[in-house]
């Protein structure tokens, strides 16, 4: 299992610069939002739709940063690894509902457990963008077994309490 935390540009500002709607609460972001030069350069993991469906089925509200007509094209990667989307978590969501991310991660983990049932080598990759109260963002990149994704919530808790 590997987990990396880095500082990244403000996602709210990047989305606005590319003509999107500022995310509120939980949102699914394009994979390369931080580095795309134009809106047409944006790509999203094909599993973004899977996660949207899972969240809807479990009554978890999330916001779309681009309209249905402006959704970025999909990025398909072939291997025995699940490439999840980039999830945005706003500072206001974590202050109003501190368990929201843990619940969403639990839903994704349960889905992956069923997907990889009986497999010993299945891995998952997921990125979480955590917005701080001052608007700055941290990105947590996870790669490893599905059951290890629960560690992401612990990292987020530590980042919230840290400097």
Task: Let me know: does 149 contact 142? Beta carbons within 8 Å.
Answer: yes
DSSP state of 120: S
Please tell me the predicted confidence (pLDDT) of residue 77.
76
Q: Return the H-helix or E-strand segment holding 100.
A: helix 100-115
In the predicted structure, residue 141 carries a pLDDT above the cut 70 = yes
Average pLDDT over all residues of the chain = 92
Neighbours of 161 (CB within 10 A): 7
Query: What are the structure tokens assigned to 129, written together?
Result: 């963008």
What pTM did the predictor assign? Answer: 0.92
DSSP β-ladder status, 26-29 and 137-144: unpaired
Boundaries of every domain in the chain: 2-161
pLDDT per position as a tens digit, 19-38: 999 998 999 999 999 999 99
Query: Which backbone phi and psi does 126 adopt, to 5 degrees?
Result: -150, 140
Rg (CA), the chain: 15
* CA–CA gap between residue 147 and residue 111 (Å, rounded): 11
Please tell me the predicted confidence (pLDDT) of residue 157.
87
């Amino acid at each position: 299992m590997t987990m990396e935390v880095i500082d990244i540009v403000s996602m709210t500002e990047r989305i606005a610069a590319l003509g999107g709607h500022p995310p509120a609460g939980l949102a699914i972001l394009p994979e390369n939002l931080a580095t795309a030069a134009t809106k047409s350069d944006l790509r999203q993991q094909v599993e973004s739709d899977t996660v949207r469906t899972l969240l809807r089925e479990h009554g978890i509200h999330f916001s779309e940063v681009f309209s249905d007509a402006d959704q970025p094209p999909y990025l398909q990667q072939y291997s025995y690894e699940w490439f999840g989307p980039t999830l945005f978590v706003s500072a206001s969501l974590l202050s109003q509902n501190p368990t929201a991310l843990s619940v969403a991660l639990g839903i994704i983990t349960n889905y992956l457990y069923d997907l990889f049932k009986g497999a010993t080598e299945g891995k998952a990759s997921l990125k979480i963008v955590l917005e701080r109260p001052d608007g700055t963002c941290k990105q947590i990149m996870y790669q490893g077994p599905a059951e290890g994704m629960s560690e992401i919530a612990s990292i987020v808790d530590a980042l919230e309490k840290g400097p």
